[in-house]
Structure 1
Amino acid sequence: MAAAGRALRAALPCGLWGRLAPLPGAPRRGAAHFAFQPDPAPSEYGQTQKMNLFQSITSALDNALAKDPTAVVFGEDVAFGGVFRCTVGLRDKYGKDRVFNTPLCEQGIVGFGIGIAVTGATAIAEIQFADYIFPAFDQIVNEAAKYRYRSGDLFNCGNLTIRAPWGCVGHGALYHSQSPEAFFAHCPGIKVVIPRSPLQAKGLLLSCIEDKNPCIFFEPKILYRAAVEQVPVEPYNIPLSQAEVLQTGSDVTMVAWGTQVHVIKEVATMAQEKLGVSCEVIDLRTILPWDTETVCKSVAKTGRLLISHEAPLTGGFASEISSTVQRREEQQGNTEAAFKTLDALIRSFGFGIYIADFSFNSAILNIHLGCSSASSNFP
């Protein structure tokens, strides 16, 4: 290991090793970089059962397959339960014609799903990691998203849902750590959804499956086992494109999605206890199309906005939120409106622009994942 470290150091450009070397006193919180706080299940949802996030995904798929005889679940290794066990037991229950493996070809998986959906059946495709979704990019943005428009709605593949494990988990390196939601947020015709918890995951996934638009459902893989809640056994829906205000506040609006919701909730608590700052915490939930009204209304009240996501800041979805908030303020009156309403510059937190920031450096990765310790200085 020492020899490998010396070789890597010699191969790196001057100065870059300092970015990779463990930082003195750097927090090493690993998978427990946040404190998951379960939400209570609404009583109207009926009987509940304790589930982690992957079990809630399994429950949602089970409900969907039971309700819709045309629904099929497919992807790499899903027949034996999947690498994260999200489809465990479904093949035995519903048979090999409805839950089955595919070749290791993401473009083929999505293309196959489009074909199934065009026939009127319900296609639920799994991409084994969100990092692997890029070979299917053309099928998603040029076929699935545009199929109804190019055919004058003669053909429609809206019954397609694409699931993929997403985000950081620690030691994921290049191909198991990415958060590619911003790539798809630029594409009209699809919906992009990211849940924060088991309770949210089941309701949002069922809404995606039943929605008449192709949906991409990114699942925070660090939460598969770390997040546990009481989840209703029966099917239920959570509306898409509707953000949720988790905590009301008066001084700053904080927006995140997926795992980062739990990080900013910790930040909000620290801000209140140490700085006396009252934070309004919003889980965006749906990235495309996102709930501009809830966010802009909150910012109009607080005058400050902080956005946190796991993806790199450059071209990240935080930039779209920032731009929209400022543009919305301008549209309310005059070009100076944004400066009159906003009491401070909008701040965003995410990964840097260097591959090394999230691929090799466990110290920097842990700092990012535990960014609550670095985010307590509000504008």
Structure 2
Amino acid sequence: MAQSAVTAEVKKSRHSKTSLSREQLIEIYRLMYLSRRTDDREIMLKRQQKIFFQISGAGHEAFLVAAALAMKPGYDWFFPYYRDRALCLALGNTAEEQLLQAVGAADDPASGGRQMPSHWTSRKLNIVSPSSSTATQCLQAIGCADAGRYFARHPEAAAKHDGDYRAYKDVQFHGDEVVYVSIGEGSTSQGEFWEALSVASNLKLPVVFAVEDNGYAISVPVEVNTPGGNISKVVTGFPNFHFAEVDGTDPITSYDAFREAVAYCRAGKGPALVHGHVIRPYSHSLSDDDKLYRPESERHADTQRDPLTKFQLYLVREGILDESGINKIERQVDEEVRQAAERAVRAPLPASDKASILRHQYSEDYDPTRPELQTEPKSEPDAQERTMADLINSCLRDEMRRDPRIVLFGEDVADCSREEYLEKGEVKGKGGVFKLTAGLQAEFGSDRVFNSPLAEASIIGRTVGMGVRGLKPVPEIQFFDYIWPAMHQLRNELSAMRWRSNGTFSNPAVIRVAIGGYLTGGSLYHSQCGESIFTHTPGMRVVFPSNALDANGLLRTALRCDDPVMFLEHKRLYREAYGRAPYPGPDYMIPFGKAKTVREGSDLTIVTYGATVPRALQAAMRAQRELEVETEVLDLRTLSPYDWEAIATSVRKTSRVIVLHEDTLSWGFGAEIAARIADELFDDLDAPVRRVAAMDTFVAYQPVLEDVILPQPEHIFRAIESITNY
């Protein structure tokens, strides 16, 4: 800045008092300038085609450095978004680390070249890997705060655990840690932001929400995003909150606001929201041109509020630095960034072999497919056979006794949220709409078994934060039909966390989901299947048992697994006479990826799973009686991974195969199995691969319609007859 401009601005500035020391004020300027120059260097590298994307934090520096100074890196937890360059630099990131991410280098500590630039990650600093999705991190911050509070109340759960679950062997916790989460003003339109505010308010969680309001969500102005154009005026009705609205281009004002907000949260009074009005001097990203939607007058007005210029003038005015001192800092930073960029562009790129690419898609600490997990059931003599629902409940109880990190939550899963009713014996308790969690709150308490709001995204988003923080969350989605609001968190967040952070963070969780039809009146919103969507999700294990014993053994493996597991429980099978079994003991396990031959045969193979297993058996027995055809029925039990070797062995033996599933015929899970059989086992086949599945429509309420829509034993029998006669 020219000296004349400095002098002119000093003359019209007012004196500002602050508790910050001279050294702190100088460091604030250095960090703000470092952030801006790192942005500028990335822009240069992008124009030189040495990096592939750039999105800046310019104009946000004062607000974000202030936030970092008010918190404790490596002690508090941080869920940033892509504008938070200055925050992360102030917490302890280096410019070189950030530029390595821009290059996509192998040594990029944030993701090893897997994520775009500006997706900050550091295990040492407790900066949790974000995605490019907006506002999803808000719910994850809630889950992290949940977990921190849990560990403070239950220090035994934070001690080194000697079992198989290895997410974080020694969890560090503090009774007063605070969780920071930030979003832009445009992201406050997302429902997950509001769900996060609701839970934080209700539970008085120590979460600081930072809203970085630069007036535009790409090209959409704030008044289009936010009623009244001001989020602070909209959120004031939430109880237990501390609110502040500040000039986010002023680091001193911002620091004071964040210091008060953090103190409020650290004292256990509740959450806080700090709304900072910042600027965006550059376009949204280098893929955007803000001249197309912002007039020159507006862009010029922003330059008058540039936090770097304003703070530089303040330092000169207050005699903290003169022009020479400022120039010295800037030269040092310029050289630091230049050298960092030179090292970054020379850094080795990630290995492009398949093994390296797939590393960290699943845990390297715990392999749920290893054969030695298989154990024998240890039932008491003359033990009573129990339903799938009973043995799922028993497994949950066993594992909660074994591992204090397991917490269960979801809609209606608790016995009773108003504990005094239970304590007085006034109510029996609910324990889930299907009673699968009955009695667990009574035994383990409301910290470990609790009801959530009716908000599926909230359930899974909190799960992400809990898993990152070191808990083993076991959420329940009450009906598969209502899982879709959580799809964002399941696909973009939970399943991707380990891979996108290059193994820095993991998300061990078991998502229990009641699924399927055959309910006689379930209709289209209580009968859905759709497992293929989740088998199509990298990083997610998918389990779908057909009987009580398998449900118990597979659930135990899932609960000891270090990966996200979707555990699909067919509602029709919960209390069926088919597949009942005695309680197998607290250590019974079944490895993933191991199918079970539930009926031997020599003429035909049926590959299936879930509720179509007993229907396949009915059809196979009829085929034996009427057609003298011996049908082999293979129950996959787990869908990701699935047991290809068992399928291939059976098909080579019988040379004829039907792939059967309950979901719609087209684009279902069976299509992949059928395609692979045709691709790899064509020479072993004596007939075309046949699929039997539901019609490509919704499940109707009237039973006479449901019987036609869903695959029945009659449909399977006719397929057996047809393929046998081919």
Q: TM-score, normalising length from structure 1?
A: 0.83
Structure 2: how far apart are the matches of 1:233 and 1:367? 40
Does residue 85 of the first structure (1) align with residue 435 of the second (2)? yes
**How far 1:49 sits from its partner (Å)?**
4.2
Structure 2: how far apart are the matches of 1:375 and 1:195? 20
SS at match of 1:378: helix
Aligned to 1:287: 639
Aligned to 2:174: none
The amino acid of 2:696's aligned partner reads I
Q: How does 1:49-68 map to 2 (within 5 A)?
A: 49-68=384-403
Does residue 236 of the first structure (1) align with residue 588 of the second (2)? yes
Tell me whether 95-104 or 240-249 shows the greater mean CA deviation.
240-249
Residues 60, 235 of structure 1: 8 Å contact kept: no
The amino acid of 2:614's aligned partner reads H
- Percent identity reads 38
Structure 2: how far apart are the matches of 1:214 and 1:288? 11
Tell me whether 313-322 or 222-231 shows the greater mean CA deviation.
222-231
Structure 2: how far apart are the matches of 1:292 and 1:122? 30
SS at match of 1:307: strand
Residues 127, 162 of structure 1: 8 Å contact kept: yes
Structure 2: how far apart are the matches of 1:142 and 1:45? 40
Structure 2: how far apart are the matches of 1:43 and 1:153? 34
**How far 1:368 sits from its partner (Å)?**
5.2
Aligned to 2:624: 272
SS at match of 2:408: strand
**How far 1:369 sits from its partner (Å)?**
5.3
Aligned to 1:123: 473
Gaps of 5+ in 1: 1-41, 330-337
Does residue 111 of the first structure (1) align with residue 457 of the second (2)? no
**Change beyond 3 A, Cα 1:202–1:361:** same
Q: 1:320 aligns with which of 665, 672, 693?
A: 672
**How far 1:187 sits from its partner (Å)?**
1.0
Structure 1: how far apart are the matches of 2:488 and 2:710? 31
- Look at both structures and tell me which one has the larger radius of gyration over its CA atoms: 2
Q: How does 1:152-191 map to 2 (within 5 A)?
A: 152-157=502-507, 159-168=508-517, 169-191=519-541
**How far 1:253 sits from its partner (Å)?**
0.6
Q: Deviations over 1:272-315 (max 9, x none)?
A: 11101111110011111111111012111111111111100111
Aligned to 2:615: 263
Structure 1: how far apart are the matches of 2:673 and 2:395? 30
**How far 1:75 sits from its partner (Å)?**
0.5
Aligned to 2:320: none
**How far 1:364 sits from its partner (Å)?**
2.9
Structure 2: how far apart are the matches of 1:362 and 1:172? 9
Q: How does 1:67-78 map to 2 (within 5 A)?
A: 67-78=402-413
The amino acid of 1:141's aligned partner reads R
Q: TM-score, normalising length from structure 2?
A: 0.44
Greater share of residues in strand: 1
**How far 1:43 sits from its partner (Å)?**
6.4
The amino acid of 1:305's aligned partner reads V
Q: 1:196 aligns with which of 546, 552, 558?
A: 546
Structure 1: how far apart are the matches of 2:649 and 2:385? 35
Residues 59, 233 of structure 1: 8 Å contact kept: no
**Change beyond 3 A, Cα 1:316–1:162:** same
- Give the alignment's Cα RMSD to 1 decimal: 1.5
Structure 1: how far apart are the matches of 2:442 and 2:377? 31
Q: Deviations over 1:153-172 (max 9, x none)?
A: 11100x20000111112211
Structure 2: how far apart are the matches of 1:235 and 1:176? 33
The amino acid of 1:255's aligned partner reads V
SS at match of 1:254: strand
Aligned to 1:366: 707
Q: Deviations over 1:227-268 (max 9, x none)?
A: 432222423111111111112211111011111100001111
**How far 1:361 sits from its partner (Å)?**
3.9
Q: How does 1:30-45 map to 2 (within 5 A)?
A: 44-45=377-378
Show structure 1 runs of 4+ deviating over 6 A. Answer: none
Residues 612, 662 of structure 2: 8 Å contact kept: yes
Structure 2: how far apart are the matches of 1:325 and 1:145? 28
Does residue 138 of the first structure (1) align with residue 488 of the second (2)? yes
Q: Which has the higher contact order (CA 8 A, sep 6+)?
A: 1
